Structure 1
Amino acid sequence: MPVTKKEENDTNILSIDIGGTSIKACVLNSKGDLLSEFTKVPTPVKSTPEAVLKCVKELVATLNQPFERVSIGFPGYVKNGKVQTAANLAKNKWTDVDLAQQVSDIFGKPVRLINDADQQALGIVTGKGFEIVFTVGTGFGTALVFDGELLPHLELAHLPITKTKDYDDYIGTKAFEKIGKEKWNERLARIIEIYKTVFNYDTLYIGGGNSKHITLRLDHNIHLVTNKDGIKGGAKLWELEEKYHVFTIHPAKK
């Protein structure tokens, strides 16, 4: 029997990417194809959970496409559908926040919530060997994938790289604005060398808003990617087996 329009819509996924600078959203089909515009708005200056949820609600209303599931990429550590850290959002406001449950209740749909770099990685990697994605934006995001399997998330951004700075401080937007493009690229080169030595990856992908400023000559196994390149991650997230770092939250029963 032919597939009806309603049956097609029943597999649509709302993909949300929450960042320190902007919040992005679109509706995808189960294959990861865009069904709506890839739309973004500035992250609220006072980026509390309440402000971010309000922004998400208003952004989704502009997409004008039905969806049955929701994927959220969040810039921090996530466990079992709850946010534990958010270094680049409102300070001390994001500990143990049940963001997935709140979004699920707003839209009445099941939600999966993971780190934003992890979600982007799902849409980018080839599934061959040890692949790493890192994002250079407001902060420094990381994701590790082995033969297509998303590994447990590590907040490598908070490892020290100097006596006084972690990776977020060293390579984030504040550092870029302070030291300029040339010195920022020198710092990025140092980070790449550390990653080559520590992880011995097969492929490294670099994305995030500041990746457009990269002037380094990159090795053959290092590729620049965009937020749009990783958008399929919102669909891929729903193909993963549910376990410790991929957790489905359903709307609360009224």
Structure 2
Amino acid sequence: MSTGHPIGIDFGGTGIKAAAVDLRAGNFASDREKIKTPRPATPAAVAEVFAELVGRFHISDSPIGVTVPGVVRHGVVHSAANIDPTWIGADADAIFSAALSREVHIVNDADAAGLAEVEFGAAKGQRGLIIVTTLGTGIGSALIHDGVLVPNSELGHLEIGGHDAESRAANSVREAEQLSWQAWAERLTTYYRAVERLFAPDLFVVGGGVSKQSDEFLPLLDIETPIVPAQLRNRAGIIGAALVASRQG
């Protein structure tokens, strides 16, 4: 395997996935490896999993990018809505670089997916303001203007109608409340209209696992901005993380 390929690691609530990435092709350069997320998923426990995963690639000098479901500033994690609270205040760049004996850079998970979609996926070649949203347990978001990321947008936590937006419109809520596609689309319309008013984007890209069923709900949305499904699906986090590592390495 070429030592020129950076490695992307996607840290999720149930599994930690990794692959080497060919950034010329915008795709994996290796098979994807996966290990269950440890319990509790403290930074130290997760670092051990990262070391095991990276050891499977037999690459000693490639930079590594890691997605984290939280606000990230200069390598330090500042929120932990869906991960162990010991992450708050952790200098994850330093912890993982020490554990893996090479340069590691972390990035918010939605930001990573957004960068990948702009560079290689549904928003490739698009200019202006692109907003990528991931509909899953919550609502993640990434703002990219002319290829430049504005990090940690956290638009899933906009207050709309007195509610945290993702508490009404995340895909997990659709499943829990057994909403019809039409009923969910009405909530999504309310959400995306609010984002339109604030940012006037040129394009929305919708990711998350439910994007595979985009034909069921995207045509039902009543908004002005063009909106399209993500193309990279579950590869976006790994590819985006590798992209971040290559740019900072």
The TM-score normalised by the length of structure 1 is 0.79
Q: Is the 8 A contact 2:71 2:152 kept in 1?
A: yes
Q: Secondary structure at the match of 1:216?
A: helix
Aligned to 2:98: 105
Q: Is the 8 A contact 1:77 1:153 kept in 2?
A: yes
Question: Does residue 1:88 correspond to 2:87, yes or no?
Answer: no
Q: Which amino acid aligns with 1:195?
A: V
Question: Does residue 1:137 correspond to 2:130, yes or no?
Answer: no
**Which segment is superposed worse, 119-128 or 60-69?**
60-69
1:214-225 matched pairs, under 5 angstroms: 214=214, 215-218=216-219, 221-225=226-230
CA distance in 2, matches of 1:68, 1:231: 14
Runs of 5+ in structure 1 lacking a partner?
243-247, 249-254
Change in Cα spacing, 1:54 to 1:172, as seen in structure 2 (3 Å) is farther
Offset at residue 82 of structure 1 (A): 1.0
Aligned residues: 233
Aligned to 2:195: 195
1:96-175 matched pairs, under 5 angstroms: 96-125=89-118, 126=124, 127-163=126-162, 165-172=163-170, 174-175=172-173
Q: Is the 8 A contact 2:7 2:18 kept in 1?
A: yes
Offset at residue 104 of structure 1 (A): 0.9
Change in Cα spacing, 1:221 to 1:30, as seen in structure 2 (3 Å) is same
Q: Which amino acid aligns with 2:191?
A: I
Q: Which amino acid aligns with 2:20?
A: V
CA distance in 2, matches of 1:124, 1:73: 15
Q: Is the 8 A contact 1:69 1:109 kept in 2?
A: yes
Q: Is the 8 A contact 1:123 1:236 kept in 2?
A: yes
1:37-48 matched pairs, under 5 angstroms: 37-48=31-42
Q: Tell me the alpha carbon deviations over residues 120-167 of structure 1, each in whole angstroms, 9 at most, x when there is no partner.
A: 11111125111111111222111101111111322222232343x413
Q: Secondary structure at the match of 1:93?
A: helix
Q: Tell me the alpha carbon deviations over residues 26-85 of structure 1, each in whole angstroms, 9 at most, x when there is no partner.
A: 111343442211334443453332333333333334445555101111111001111111
User: What do you get for the CA RMSD once the two structures are aligned?
Assistant: 2.7
CA distance in 1, matches of 2:147, 2:45: 35
**Which residue, 4, 20, 23 being the options, matches 1:27?**
20
CA distance in 1, matches of 2:39, 2:189: 31
Runs of 5+ in structure 2 lacking a partner?
119-123
Q: Is the 8 A contact 1:117 1:142 kept in 2?
A: yes
Change in Cα spacing, 1:40 to 1:201, as seen in structure 2 (3 Å) is farther
Offset at residue 174 of structure 1 (A): 4.4
Change in Cα spacing, 1:176 to 1:46, as seen in structure 2 (3 Å) is farther
4+ residue runs of structure 1 moved beyond 6 angstroms? none
Q: Secondary structure at the match of 1:76?
A: coil
Q: Secondary structure at the match of 1:23?
A: strand
Q: Which amino acid aligns with 1:224?
A: P
